[in-house]
């Protein structure tokens, strides 16, 4: 297992631990989440699920990264995604605003990272066929 793969696994697993922490925060937060208005509560839950999503993507990338240039760029984006989403969860959730630029950036980074990983995979598969 290469260094970048291990890094993906560490970041992915750390993200899953942080996801668990945010879940506990949401569960035991005062005032209780049930008494919070629906809009802010949904924004908090969405940010919470985005952390799970980015962590799982990094765990998967830890098993499949091939180290090609396009995959490296995808790896950087995937690795940055949980960090940006975690900061977004902590900073943007308190504002209860619909505009969440950090969360949007984190989701775009994860999506683009996955697409670049996939392009790298296709390029490697095509090269191995010839």
In Å, what is the CA distance from 51 to each residue of 9, 67, 81, 106?
Answer: 15, 24, 9, 9
Residue-wise pLDDT tens for the chain (130 aa)?
Answer: 788 889 999 999 999 999 999 999 888 875 666 677 777 778 888 899 999 999 999 998 887 766 667 788 889 999 999 999 999 999 987 776 778 999 999 999 999 999 998 888 888 888 888 7
b/e code 9-36 from CB counts within 10 Å (16+ = b): bebbeebbebbeebeeebeeeeeeeeee
pTM, two decimals, is 0.83
Phi-psi region of 77 (alpha: psi -120 to 50; beta: other; left: phi over 0): alpha
Tokens for 13? 């697993």
Residue with tokens 């091939």: 66
The helix or strand, by DSSP H or E, that contains position 94, with its residue range, turns out to be: none
């Amino acid at each position: 297992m290469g260094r970048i793969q291990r890094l993906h696994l560490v970041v992915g697993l750390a993200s899953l631990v942080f996801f668990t922490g945010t879940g506990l925060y949401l569960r035991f937060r005062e005032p209780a989440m049930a008494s919070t208005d629906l809009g802010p509560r949904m924004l908090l839950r969405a940010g919470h699920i985005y952390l799970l999503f980015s962590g799982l993507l990094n765990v998967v990338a830890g098993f499949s990264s091939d180290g090609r240039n396009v995959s490296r760029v995808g790896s950087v984006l995937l690795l940055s995604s949980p960090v940006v989403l975690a900061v977004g969860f902590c900073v943007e959730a308190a504002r209860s605003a619909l505009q969440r630029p950090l969360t949007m950036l984190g989701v775009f980074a994860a999506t683009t990272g996955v697409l670049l990983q996939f392009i790298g995979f296709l390029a490697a598969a095509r090269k191995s066929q010839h």
